[in-house]
Structure 1
Amino acid sequence: MSDPEDELAGTEQPFVAHLVELRDRLIKAMIAVGVVASVLFFWPGPGALYDVLAAPLIAHLPKNATLIATSVISPFLVPLKILLMTAFLIALPVVLYQAWAFVAPGLYSHEKKLVLPLVVSSTILFFAGVAFCYFFVFGQVFKFIQSFAPKSITAAPDIEAYLSFVLTMFIAFGLAFEVPIVVVVLARLGMVTIEKLKAFRGYFIVIAFVIAAVITPPDVVSQLALAVPMCLLYEVGIWAAQIFIRHTRAPEETAATAK
């Protein structure tokens, strides 16, 4: 017999039904990405998107200097990759909503209070990391690098190498800005306590600078730009974890605390 107090009792579905729903959710997510990609293809176009992505570098290159393509198909493939990446990022809220709609029916009310805020906040933080990298870090890094370039060298970066560099930096900063989410999840699952997180603060600062030194280019600007926000976000995560734990307890946890 099912627990009469179980709010999910009677909502079970056959395994095949779950597969069908998963397929439908994936199709809807792919359609959303495809629609956005189609719109971007006609306006502003793949070439214009790459120009926007390359703007921070172009602004710090010598006058009349441009990026080059060393492969025959690079002028076609690279802007197309940028188009698909941009389409996915723009359609990400729809993709995440489809994922949420798939798992939400199988969650208790207190679990929904846990998962939904994490999905929304992790998305916002990832976009914030990418925006911080594009609007602030790139300009400072390219300015710093060009200041060391000898006058006898004319910079002409390859478009594929630049795309690889940009994607690496976007992922690095996007994930770095997820530090509060990791801290909250670890604390909420009971894997670590708030006191241990506070005591680990000094070690995390060292870890943050090591990660920044490994991931970012070998310049002080980009390393500080990654490590310092990680340290600040770690403090935000500790603060958020204390609030989050109080508001996402299961009913039995609340009852046990009240006794």
Structure 2
Amino acid sequence: MQFWLKSRKEASRRNDDVTDDAGWCGVSMVFAWFYAELVIKRSTGEMPMKIFFAVAMTMVSAACHAVEFGQIHPEKSNITFISRQMGVPIEGKFGKYNAHIAFDPDHPEAARAQVEIEMASIDAGNPDSNDEVRTKGWFDIEQFRTAKFESSGFKARGGSYEAEGKMTIKGVTQPVMVPFTVKLENNVAILEGLFPISRKQYGIGTTDWLEVVGDEVKLLFRFNLGPLGK
């Protein structure tokens, strides 16, 4: 398994950098406050100084809160799926993938993501299913070794977000819209989302299986991201 990761030592250094940045921001805020008070006391134009003060504080605050996340913690991240066989939900997962993500919750329009899944790492729930989904009629893993999602844009949607992009499976590319949520805690961003795909659109599974396995498959993901280095 190959992940877009640095060493644990580097990850630790980045977390220290975030802590240092937080300290710097605190000092900067205090400095901005006292400097603005000093200037206001020496000024006869009260309103312009208030405007200056507000702008200065806004700029410092913006600099302090801008954090781009993308350092993946693989032990807390996963890509799974849910299909239906005879109407019964069956869970599966992919054990290996490469994920390149950069996401700032305050500036989603600048975010980017590329996720490549190693199809041979699929676990469909049992050995027989694992053998079947590797065949030519399904994922044809010998010829198509990876599936890929690549973003083309991100948007904020109220309390959640949405990534627009293209999904390529078995050599077929389709546009997809991926809704997801973001939870921030302890200098970590947790991205979680779910979106459906159609097996028929990607030529996955022969028509003999349509009455056994449902056409819709739900893809789920959870990415635990630390701050990117500067």
TM-score by length of 2: 0.30
TM-score by length of 1: 0.27
Q: Please identify which structure carries the higher strand content.
A: 2
